[in-house]
Structure formats: structure tokens, C-alpha cells
């Protein structure tokens, strides 16, 4: 199996977090690729026609994408235990979807700033993405703290990856202000060996 990844991608980090938590990081080959919506660069477009990462190429079946499909597959393949049984499963998947939405909005802001020239950028569109992030983080603070403190699952790992990406690419955004519980949880969670082994770096 080969995982197409990038050390800055929060979605790829979520997959690598799963592998670390399962003790299986060395069982999957990785290849670093890079690109963006207006230039596929080295993205594996022959493996994932959408030209997005992460993408998992398998020897005995079609390639898998996106990150939610890959993590589900890896958990089943390696017996990871990162997906609880229903009804908690639906909570966990909703937490993952919330964190993925934060990552997506944060990545889109980066693309808007990077791929468009100054006069072509839409401040209103960027502000709309920021509002989504703000709302989602406030919901984590108000409703999800007991789940976040209740043990590691795919939703919890996704939140770790999302908050890490905000600090990495949006250092001026003080998401911790007025979110003391989430900030305190993150300060402890980021110490996990899996989080330390996957800290984002600019490629």
C-alpha cells in the first residue's frame, strides 16, 4: 500500500495520525506530492482523478480516497478500534465531519490567498470561510468537550489535525480566545506521540 501525502495537509495528517495511533505507520509506504486547484503539480491524478490527497493506492484493489474512506479502510484492515459501535459511532462521524469542515475552510482560505492575485481575491468569500470555522469551533467548545475527553477515536484525531492546521497556516487567528476548554484540551492532546510525530511542516 502506498499513501500519497503532504506534510502540510491536515487531511493527510488525519490519516497519518490513525496509522501512528494503530502502531502501523511503518506498514504503509508514503510518497510526498504537492499541487493545488490551478496546478496539479505532482498530485497523483492517475490514481485519484480529482488530483487530491490523501490517496491510498492498494496492490489488490482500486485506490481509495478521500481521507474518510482511507481511515475507515485502514481501521478495518489493521483492526484499529478508532470507530466505536453505534450509537456513539454517529457522534464520532459527526465530530469528524465538523473537524473536516474546519480543515476544508482553512485550506480554501490558503488557496484563495495563494492562487489568486491581490485584485482577484474575494474578502467576502474568505470572511464566509472564517465564519464557518468560528461557528464550528464554538460548537466544539460548547457541546463536544465530554466526547473529546472521552478517549481517542477518528473524530478526536480529526479535531487534533484541524486545530494543528489552524496554528500552522493561520497563526494570527486566535481561535483559543473565549474557548478555554478546547484550548486546554488541545494543549494536552498535542503532546501525544502521534501528534508530535505528524506536526505539519511546509513542504
Contacting residues toward ligand BEZ, per CB under 6 A: 6, 8-9, 107, 110, 169
The minimum distance between CB 88 and ligand BEZ, in angstroms, equals 29
- In the chain, % helix, strand, coil (3-state, to 5) comes to 55, 10, 35
Pairwise CA distance, residues 57 & 136, whole Å: 32
∠ CA 71-196-6 to the nearest 5 degrees? 55
* Cis previous bond, 50, omega within 30: no
Pairwise CA distance, residues 85 & 79, whole Å: 14
Pairwise CA distance, residues 148 & 140, whole Å: 9
If the CB atoms of residues 77 and 170 are measured against ligand BEZ, the closer one turns out to be 170
Pairwise CA distance, residues 191 & 84, whole Å: 23
The minimum distance between CB 76 and ligand BEZ, in angstroms, equals 25
If the CB atoms of residues 101 and 150 are measured against ligand BEZ, the closer one turns out to be 101
The minimum distance between CB 151 and ligand BEZ, in angstroms, equals 28
Q: Are 25 and 203 within 8 A, CB to CB?
A: no
If the CB atoms of residues 6 and 71 are measured against ligand BEZ, the closer one turns out to be 6
The minimum distance between CB 168 and ligand BEZ, in angstroms, equals 7
If the CB atoms of residues 102 and 107 are measured against ligand BEZ, the closer one turns out to be 107
If the CB atoms of residues 132 and 169 are measured against ligand BEZ, the closer one turns out to be 169
Pairing of strands 55-58, 2-5: antiparallel
The minimum distance between CB 110 and ligand BEZ, in angstroms, equals 5
Amino acid at each position: 500500500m502506498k499513501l500519497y501525502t503532504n506534510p502540510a495537509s491536515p487531511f493527510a495528517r488525519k490519516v497519518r495520525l490513525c496509522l501512528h495511533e494503530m502502531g502501523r505507520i511503518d506498514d504503509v509506504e508514503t510518497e510526498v506530492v504537492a499541487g493545488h486547484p490551478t496546478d496539479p503539480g505532482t498530485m497523483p491524478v492517475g490514481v485519484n482523478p480529482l488530483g487530491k490527497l490523501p490517496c491510498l493506492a492498494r496492490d489488490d484493489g482500486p485506490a481509495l480516497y478521500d481521507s474518510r474512506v482511507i481511515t475507515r479502510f485502514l481501521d478495518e484492515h489493521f483492526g484499529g478500534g478508532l470507530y466505536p459501535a453505534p450509537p456513539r459511532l454517529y457522534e464520532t462521524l459527526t465530530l469528524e465531519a465538523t473537524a473536516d469542515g474546519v480543515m476544508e475552510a482553512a485550506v480554501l482560505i490558503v488557496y484563495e490567498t495563494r492562487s489568486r492575485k491581490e485584485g482577484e481575491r474575494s474578502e467576502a468569500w474568505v470572511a464566509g470561510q472564517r465564519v464557518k470555522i468560528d461557528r464550528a469551533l464554538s460548537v466544539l467548545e460548547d457541546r463536544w468537550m465530554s466526547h473529546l475527553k472521552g478517549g481517542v477515536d477518528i473524530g478526536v484525531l480529526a479535531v487534533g489535525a484541524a486545530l494543528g492546521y489552524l496554528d500552522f497556516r493561520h497563526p494570527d487567528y486566535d481561535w483559543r480566545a473565549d474557548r478555554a476548554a478546547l484550548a486546554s484540551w488541545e494543549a494536552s492532546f498535542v503532546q501525544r506521540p502521534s501528534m508530535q510525530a505528524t506536526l505539519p511542516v511546509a513542504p
